[in-house]
Amino acid sequence: MVQNVIEQSERALHDFKSRMRGRIITRGDEGYENARKVWNGAVDNHPAAIIFCENVEDVQAAVRTARILNLPLSVRSCGHDAARRSVRSDAVVIDLSLMDRVWIDDHVATVAGGAPAAKVIAAATANKLLAVTGWNGVPGMTGAATVGGYGPLIASHGLALDSLIGAELVLADGQRVVADQDDNPDLLWALKGGGGNLGVVTSMKIRLHPARRILGGMILFRWGEAEKVLGRYAKAIRSASNNLSVVIGIMSLPDGSPTLFLAPAWTGEISDGEIAMEVLKRCGEPVHVQIASMSYQELIQGFDARVANDRHYALETRSMPVLSPASISTLIAGGASRTSPFSMIILQHFRGVPTQVPPDSTAFGLRREHVLVEIIACWDPTVGGDGSVHQRWARDLCQSLEPVSLAGGYPNLLGPHAKDQIAQAYGSNIMRLQAVKRRFDPDGVFSATPIPV
């Protein structure tokens, strides 16, 4: 019975190909194996069809066809999703990678749904402007700008979603709608944190900011100093300017041994930034310092160079209220017990401007100061094993951080398995978000990070 349903769906999808402008790849087609792959090599899902949409009409047709065939939907922008949501098994995958145009008018970027953050940054830079993004340019811009977007400009300019001023979506019934301050303002509110749970974002409008030189780079410390450095950083950042954002990481040196890094980004006057860099360096005795004045694009490209493809990933996340002695001890223990030299722990400090935004002004509900923890299990699949030992390391560390963490977590990093965290991720905004979800997607067609209803 199930096999008959699958065969009928595949026949219908083949018939649908003749009416699509974009390309459709189904099981058995040449290129299917490559088309179903995403950045995370651990994802081994087999969708019923992958539709490479070229315009909004293609997206509308894809959504309506999936609904008629009663097939689940998933949406892929750039495929940089470790949580396995963008390509679902037995689903219709709406691939937006061909819709990647970016154009700028009067300090506003209109960004098509498949544009990577790097393309937005490049367009803004060419116009002597800044786009608020995450720390690298590989992921799709729509993901960061609709779920959160912790990045180098967070303390001075807020989250990426704080610069989102409008969007165009295709809803679950195939209808094309606009969400901005004048049209469907509740939908825009929900998009700013609710992400891909409401429809297919085919384009969005992002407010850009005047360009500035960034003072940034990398400061590396010996592993034996990690606890001391983190403790001193926690004290120093309390009085730091909002011009300073720092991402902290536990990673491996080329020989596989652990190390701690601080990667700062300063957006104010360079002379003041040099003083801030000295404060960070004095958190320990650096073994390597590479700090320079650069464009925002150059800063992001430096992080892009560290993104590795063809590895397998599993992510867990927590949000801690502070970097306390107890949490530092747990993080150090987690770093020392990593099961793969490729695994990392990344800390991002949510402070400054985004904490001044009223919690109910966007669906993103955690507006108090906090430290986002990304636990990234990463391994080489050719070495052997199914990755379970590395996944267990990430889960165990996530569980050990629970007593020192806030409820919920960052929805952009929460997979479907993290139901308890998802249920609490939106805080007091959850009831309003659920109401918008019921209005615009009553059948629950879109479930990137399932909103509990």
State what percent of residues in the chain have pLDDT above 90: 81
Q: Is 243 helix (H, G, I), strand (E, B) or coil?
A: coil
List CB contacts of 268: < 8 A, sequence separation 6 or more: 156, 241, 243, 244
Per-residue pLDDT at 81: 79
Per-residue pLDDT at 2: 41
Give the pLDDT band (50/70/90) at residue 8: low
d(CA 160, CA 152) in angstroms, rounded, equals 10
d(CA 234, CA 267) in angstroms, rounded, equals 20
Per-residue pLDDT at 5: 46
Q: What are phi and psi of 48, to 5 degrees?
A: -70, -35
pLDDT in tens, 346-400: 999 999 999 999 999 999 989 999 999 999 999 998 887 789 999 999 999 999 9
For 252-276, what is the mean pLDDT?
Answer: 96
Give the pLDDT band (50/70/90) at residue 165: very high
Among 146, 150, 160, smallest CA distance to 371 is for 150
For 221-236, what is the mean pLDDT?
Answer: 97
For 288-296, what is the mean pLDDT?
Answer: 97
Mean pLDDT across the chain, nearest whole number? 92
Write down the pTM of the prediction.
Answer: 0.93
For 402-412, what is the mean pLDDT?
Answer: 93
In order of start, what are the domains of the chain with their CATH numbers?
Answer: 2-95 (3.30.43.10), 102-210 (3.30.465.10), 214-414 (3.40.462.20)
For 54-71, what is the mean pLDDT?
Answer: 94
Residue 417 has pLDDT above 80, yes or no: no
d(CA 245, CA 263) in angstroms, rounded, equals 8
Distances (CA, A) of 409 to 186, 322, 323, 406, 425: 23, 14, 16, 8, 5
Distances (CA, A) of 42 to 30, 280, 382: 22, 36, 12
Q: Taking a C-beta distance cutoff of 8 angstroms, is the pair 182, 352 a contact?
A: no
State what percent of residues in the chain have pLDDT above 70: 95
For 191-217, what is the mean pLDDT?
Answer: 96
Ramachandran bin of 83, using left for φ above 0, alpha for ψ from -120 to 50, beta for the remaining angles: alpha
Q: Taking a C-beta distance cutoff of 8 angstroms, is the pair 217, 261 a contact?
A: no
For 2-22, what is the mean pLDDT?
Answer: 60
Distances (CA, A) of 214 to 139, 155, 244, 296: 21, 13, 10, 6
Tokens 């939106």: give the residue: 426
Q: Taking a C-beta distance cutoff of 8 angstroms, is the pair 155, 243 a contact?
A: yes
Residue 176 has pLDDT above 70, yes or no: yes
Per-residue pLDDT at 16: 64
Among 211, 218, 219, 217, smallest CA distance to 295 is for 211
DSSP string, 390-433: HHHHHHHHHHHHGGGS-SS--GGG--TT-HHHHHHTTGGGHHHH
d(CA 233, CA 128) in angstroms, rounded, equals 33
Residue 1 has pLDDT above 50, yes or no: no
